[in-house]
Amino acid sequence: MTESLSAICNARLPGQAGLFRLPITAGRFGAPQAQSHSKPQPVGEGEFDAAGQLVTAPFVEPHIHLDAALTAGEPRWNRSGTLFEGIECWSERKPMLTRDDVVGRAEQTLKLFAAHGIQYVRTHVDVTDPSLVALDAMLEVRERVRDAVDLQIVAFPQEGILSFPDGQALMADALERGADVVGGIPHFEFTRDYGVESVKILMDLAERHDRLVDVHCDEIDDPESRFLEVLAAEALARDYGRRVSASHTCAMHAYNNAYCSRLFRLLTKSGLRFVALPTENLHLQGRFDGYPKRRGVTRVPELLDAGLKVAFGQDSIRDPWYPMGNGNLLRTLDVGLHACHMLGMDRIESALELITDNGAAVMNLPEYGIGEGLPARCVVLNGESPYEVLLNQTPVRASIRDGRVLVQRRPETPEVAGWPDSPAGGALHANR
Catalytically active residues, by annotation: 219
Q: Least distance in Å: CB of 95 to ligand 17E?
A: 17
Stretch 248-287 residues interacting with ligand 17E (CB under 6 A) = 280
The number of residues making up the chain comes to 432
Between 245 and 356, name the residue whose CB sits nearer to Fe ion.
Answer: 245
Among 216, 253, 283, 309, binds ligand 17E (CB under 6 A): 216
Q: How far is the CB of 280 from Fe ion (least distance, A)?
A: 7
Based on the shown chain and the rule CB under 6 A, indicate whether residue 227 belongs to the binding site for ligand 17E: no
Residue facing ligand 17E at closest CB distance: 321
Using CB under 6 A as the binding rule, whether residue 315 contacts ligand 17E is answered as: yes
Is residue 164 part of the contact set for ligand 17E (CB under 6 A)?
Answer: no
Under the binding rule (CB under 6 A), the answer on residue 83 touching ligand 17E is yes
309 binds ligand 17E (CB under 6 A): no
Q: Which is nearer to Fe ion, 67 or 315 (CB)?
A: 315
316 binds, among Fe ion, ligand 17E, none (CB under 5 to 8 A by kind): ligand 17E
Q: Between 194 and 321, whose beta carbon lies closer to ligand 17E?
A: 321
In this complex, which beta carbon is closest to ligand 17E, that of residue 89 or of residue 148? 89
**CB of 316 vs Fe ion, minimal distance in Å:** 7
**Residue numbers at the binding site for ligand 17E (CB under 6 A):** 65, 83, 158, 185, 216, 219, 280, 315-316, 321
